[in-house]
Amino acid sequence: MAAVEQRLVDDDEAGLRLDRWFKQHYPGLGFGQLQKLLRSGQIRVDGGRAKSDTRVAPGQTIRIPPLATDAKSVTNKPLTANTMKGREDGDVLSQMVIYEDEKVIVFNKPAGLAVQGGSGVARHVDDMLEAWRNKKGEKPRLVHRLDRDTSGILVVARTRGAATALTKAFRERDTKKLYWAVVKGVPTPHEGKVSTYLKKEQTPDGDRMRIARHGEEGADHALSYYRVVDQVAQNFAWLELEPHTGRTHQLRVHALHMNHPILGDPKYFEHDTNWEFPGGVQKRLHLHARRIVIPHPNGGVIDQIAPLPQHMRQTFNLFGFNEAELED
């Protein structure tokens, strides 16, 4: 029979909401079940009752009762291309969920998982959602996209009506989308905007976006805001990015345009031949869709934050970046 666990909060989990702490450590535990355990006092922090929005601190002890969850789903292994292999689509989707109700699902998409199909894409979210068709035959619908190599917030509608409302919110820019990135060098000034025109072009390595002239055929306006949150000397910076428009690869191209490309970007990271990639940092795209604030189809607002992927958390730890600085 399973026993009660007592788990210590790690140093790199300072300021994390309790519900997000559980999502990281027990992804198979449903939101409703978590709320029930909190209300009944079965989950406690340092012996006291807690709520889902309680902020945890390093060294605190979390009491965890026996959890009635699928043992295959409850895993501390982060989702990657390798850990997803051989697993059912529905099981993988369940581990990705950070918020859900009768109209909306918010996923934390892992880096490397495509949102839609394309050349060389064997598995993608749109196809995986077939596993979640409801009794009426409705399949959850995508309402926006993320690049394959970008991790983080992905909003999906459960119904046709919700899809219409959410798509409208994205189209009319009635949303707030915040991204985190780690870039080479430190932008000056530390806060500002990038306004350009972007155009898609064909290259031997596939489609690539480039800076275009105003009025150039096929070029679209792209506007992004940025802010330096922290830095490592003049070598690297942690940026908070907010795209006002939603062009393909917009933030990645704008980072390069500032001469501060995003670390690990397979398409747009450029550097001189004498520059060495920092040891201990994985050569994977360091761009994460961290937060979204969007009107709920039923009224009110959805405000969700996605935990960092493993490779970015590793870089944050190496560089001494404290993600609790930007937690609400």
Half-sphere exposure of 269 (CA within 13 A, CB side): 19
Residue 43 pLDDT level (bands cut at 50, 70, 90): very high
Across the strands, what pairs with 294?
302
CA angle 232, 237, 241 (to 5 degrees): 160
Secondary element (H or E) of residue 165: helix 160-171
Check residue 203 and give its pLDDT: 84
Mean pLDDT to the nearest integer, 299-306: 94
pLDDT, tens digit (0-9, with 9 covering 90-100), for 55-106: 999 999 999 988 765 444 444 467 887 788 888 888 888 889 888 888 999 9
Please give the distance of CA 324 from its chain centroid, rounded to a whole number. 16
More confident residue, 312 or 206: 312
pLDDT, tens digit (0-9, with 9 covering 90-100), for 107-166: 999 999 999 988 778 899 999 999 988 878 889 999 999 999 999 999 999 999 999 999
Q: What is the residue whose two structure tokens read 């009768």?
A: 102
Residue 1 pLDDT level (bands cut at 50, 70, 90): very low
Mean pLDDT of the residues in the chain: 90
Which residues have C-beta within 8 Å of that of residue 36, sequence separation ≥ 6?
none
Q: Which residues are known to be catalytic?
A: 147
Please determine, for residue 302, whether its predicted confidence score (pLDDT) is greater than 50.
Answer: yes
Residue 200 pLDDT level (bands cut at 50, 70, 90): very high
pTM: 0.77
Which residues have C-beta within 8 Å of that of residue 234, sequence separation ≥ 6?
185, 186
Please tell me whether residue 249 adopts helix, strand or coil conformation. coil
Which residues have C-beta within 8 Å of that of residue 238, sequence separation ≥ 6?
180, 181, 182, 228, 229, 230, 231, 316, 319, 321
Instruction: Please state, for a pLDDT cut of 90, what percent of the chain lies above it.
Output: 65
More confident residue, 255 or 83: 255
Check residue 327 and give its pLDDT: 58
Check residue 70 and give its pLDDT: 46
Structural domains of the chain sorted by starting position, each given as residue range(s) with its CATH number in brackets: 5-64 (3.10.290.10), 89-170 (3.30.2350.10), 177-319 (3.30.2350.10)
Residue 2 pLDDT level (bands cut at 50, 70, 90): low
Q: How many CB atoms lie within 10 A of CB 54?
A: 19
Amino acid symbol at 58: P
Distance CA(185)–CA(37), nearest Å, equals 46
Q: What is the residue whose two structure tokens read 């519900």?
A: 19
Computed on alpha carbons and rounded to an integer, the radius of gyration of the chain in Å comes to 20
Q: Give the pairing type, strands 151-157 and 287-295.
A: parallel
Mean pLDDT to the nearest integer, 257-278: 90
Check residue 270 and give its pLDDT: 81
More confident residue, 52 or 128: 128
Q: Which of 105-119, 174-188, 233-247, 267-281 has the lowest mean pLDDT?
A: 267-281
Distance CA(143)–CA(154), nearest Å, equals 9
Residue 320 pLDDT level (bands cut at 50, 70, 90): very high
Q: Is residue 3 exposed (0-12), middle (13-18) or buried (19+ Cβ within 10 Å)?
A: exposed
Check residue 87 and give its pLDDT: 83
Q: Are 237 and 185 in contact (CB under 8 A)?
A: yes
- Closest to 309 in 3D by CA, of 113, 127, 59: 113
